[in-house]
Structure 1
Amino acid sequence: MPNVRQTREALGTRLRELRLDIGLNGKQFAESLHWLATKVSKIEHGKQTPTEDDIRAWAAATGTEDQVPSLLAQLRSLELAYAEWRRHLRSGTTARQQQIAAIEAETTVTRVFEPSTVPGLLQTSEYARSIITQSIRVHQIPDDLDAGVAARMARQDVLYQAGKGFHFILTEAVLRNRLCPVDALKGQIERLMVTTSLANVVLGVVPFTARLPKAPVHGFFLYDDRIVQVETFAAHLTLTQQEEIELYGKIFNLMHGAAVYGREAVALMTQVLHDLSAAEQ
């Protein structure tokens, strides 16, 4: 997973290559900008984050003004890339749900890949209660469980808005992971089966028997072709670089090829329900 240091180093490497292309060493380049040599070194080695003015000055000095928009996008990606969950959730889980809802409201096509957990837009209230309880306990944030569940349920109104499309791909593990009581899990699977009948929702499941085209390391959310969001145990990543968006779009398409849909997906979910019931006996 990318983090602040790696993202900053990537930007520094790109800037260093621009400097090397004009044949100046670090000291000479710093003098041309009336900077301390240490500033150039720190930026290039990912020890210091450049400002937007620094980026523009760097591009002007290397004759690469045409790259300013891309460089600024990379800088903003760095600024957004890593937000600690404790800070993100410092006021509880409700605010986070509202932030996601705002993004979903301005998105036309939402694509979601999940290898372990039912996406929030498809969760039942019982399932959501178990997931949000885990977040509150693990991250030791304010307990706003009821409000957080209500906010997550309110987000689901977007599924029924005209002009919006949704494509979800889940692994079979999502259906079997015991993240809530068995009865709640069975109710959640039944909800997913109903979801397959919605005209603007496409739901695929990657069976355990499928040959995986890429290891399902983590889930992600693609909002149109402008934002990718990734959740880790420690952080929430917002990726905005075009290369990153294209990469996640490619991975989504690969998972699409491995998934089953329609009757096959419903049959798989029915089998999981049968297995859960058999395990209770």
Structure 2
Amino acid sequence: MPEPGWIDEIFDGVRYGLEGTVVAEEQSAFQRVSIIESKRYGKGLLLDGCWMTAEGQERHYHESLVHPALCGAEAIDRVLVIGGGDGGTARECLRHGSVQELHMVEIDGLVVDWSKQHLPSLGGGCWTDPRFQLSVGDGIAWAAAAADASYNVVIVDGSDPAGPAEGLFNRAFFENCRRILKPGGVFATQSESPEAFRQVHIDTVKLLREVFGYADPMYGWVPMYPSGWWSWTFAATDGARYRQVQADRAAAIAAGCEIWSPRWQRGAFDAIPAFMERALNQ
């Protein structure tokens, strides 16, 4: 076993690091995939040297991405997750008993394989849940080929807008996501840090408002990510339904959540700083 050292993501003149060791690393067809064992947050995943998740951090991210969408959509029978190869998003979706089918499309099979092997707690029982269907392939192409109004919820759990995730942040992709969303549906995406990726965040929210009609960012924290301050943006065509929590769905999952609750969600949507509110309203 290598001696412990510092494993850093370096972004825009700042280092975001954990003390630990690299336990597996390989270049896939798409990116460099690294598994680390850290002292603070347990095992974690990096893609091309950027932090994706860790055992002691993942709930900050996955609960925030999933539950506003699944507690706000009119129905949640059919869910599409694009990306999400570590399994955390699928796990949180499948905690909702009303989900009948969940399709996950992950471009990199190595991420799935290594997450199952090294980070089994993230996916939990999702990999063997009969409602779960995994496709290893291009999520952008999947959305383009899917039938109109075929999903109640579409969730994008991608990495930063570079490399294999670059196409997840453009109008053509968002328009397909709107097209395949059923009436009363909700779209959700991680939308970067409003500090470290400020312009990407602003552009993403504005574009989603143009495409869907209604879109709002929600702010929280993932301490291992650049700046620690993160965002998720939710969109719908028939009003800001993602802000309205269906009480029965919330009650069924709340006791198992570490971060998310209806109260936390209300505060997270309202925690928009003045400069960001001005920028989004220009």
Give the TM-score taking structure 2 as reference length: 0.28
Q: Larger RCO: Structure 1 or Structure 2 (Cα < 8 Å, ≥ 6 residues apart)?
A: 1
Q: Which has the larger radius of gyration?
A: 1
Instruction: Tell me which protein shows more helix as a share of its residues.
Output: 1
